[in-house]
Amino acid sequence: MMLKDKVAVIYGAGGAIGGAVARAFASAGAKLFLTGRHLAPVEAVAKDVVSAGGSAEAAEVDALDEQAVGKHLQSVSDTAGRVDISFNAVGIPNTKILGVPLVELDVEQFSLPIATYSTSYFLTARLAARHMVPNRSGVIMTVTALHSRTGIPLVGGYGPAMAAKEALTRDLSAELASQGIRVVGLRPQAMPETRTIKEAFEPRAKASGLTWEQWQESLASRTHARRLMTLEEMADVAVLMASDKASGMTGTTVNLTMGSLDD
């Protein structure tokens, strides 16, 4: 029970990563306040958590809407008395942002991931920090991808978006760590069990003459372990990083690429 009675707010909780992190946080004893742009998938995760004996409430919150995020955090604070963990797992469909060469990409498509990812992380982190500062305690977390640190073709504005989020993790920590708030990101390799990865890459694998299994094998061959990380493994690291056992970690993004990307 590494997160016993910690109050955690998750944004994008109806998604693959948000849902996996929610289940792992709940198993570790956290009280969950789950949010997403559409209520139904968030409610489904909350229902799972509650039927497994955990504590979760679901709410519809657009993580790009400052007022909605602020109002929800105030209601969490009023109900639970505090906000201990903020986890931003918001994601926009890869199909909207990948696949076009940079020289052909229009400005809107380039800017979409940069604006969406950095703004939603900024808003959710900033507003959560305002509830954490008076307690001199809290952990702000998010998720990025190896595109932040390595050149990959046909990913449009996704690489700059991931790099911006990792820079924001460092900068938030530089301002907040002295007030007892840690800021830690997770950078997993693609997890093919997620709908987002399958939808974005299965057609591209087929177009280059590979089966979906061959594509996964080729990605896995770039890791030291010759396999890809599971959602559950990623979520277990999220629990550790959110817990007091990681009190020495802040201002950094944990490299979960299993050797695909050197530090």
Ligand X SMILES: NC(=O)c1ccc[n+]([C@@H]2O[C@H](COP(=O)([O-])OP(=O)(O)OC[C@H]3O[C@@H](n4cnc5c(N)ncnc54)[C@H](OP(=O)(O)O)[C@@H]3O)[C@@H](O)[C@H]2O)c1
Residues of this chain that interact with ligand X (CB under 6 A) are 11-12, 14-18, 36-38, 41, 62-64, 89-92, 120, 143, 145, 188, 190-191, 194-197
Complex with ligand X: residue 6 or 72, whichever CB lies closer: 72
Complex with ligand X: residue 1 or 40, whichever CB lies closer: 40
Task: Write down the least CB distance from residue 161 to ligand X, Å.
Answer: 8
- Shortest Cβ contact with ligand X: which residue? 15
Task: Write down the least CB distance from residue 241 to ligand X, Å.
Answer: 15
Complex with ligand X: residue 23 or 37, whichever CB lies closer: 37
Task: Write down the least CB distance from residue 189 to ligand X, Å.
Answer: 7
Complex with ligand X: residue 75 or 247, whichever CB lies closer: 75
Complex with ligand X: residue 132 or 191, whichever CB lies closer: 191
Complex with ligand X: residue 48 or 135, whichever CB lies closer: 48
Q: What are phi and psi of 215, to 5 degrees?
A: -65, -45
Task: Write down the least CB distance from residue 41 to ligand X, Å.
Answer: 6
Distance of CA 43 to the CA centre of its chain: 18
Task: Write down the least CB distance from residue 17 to ligand X, Å.
Answer: 3
CA distance 127 to 111: 24
Q: What are phi and psi of 56, to 5 degrees?
A: -155, 140
181-188/252-256 β-pairing = parallel
Task: Write down the least CB distance from residue 233 to ligand X, Å.
Answer: 12
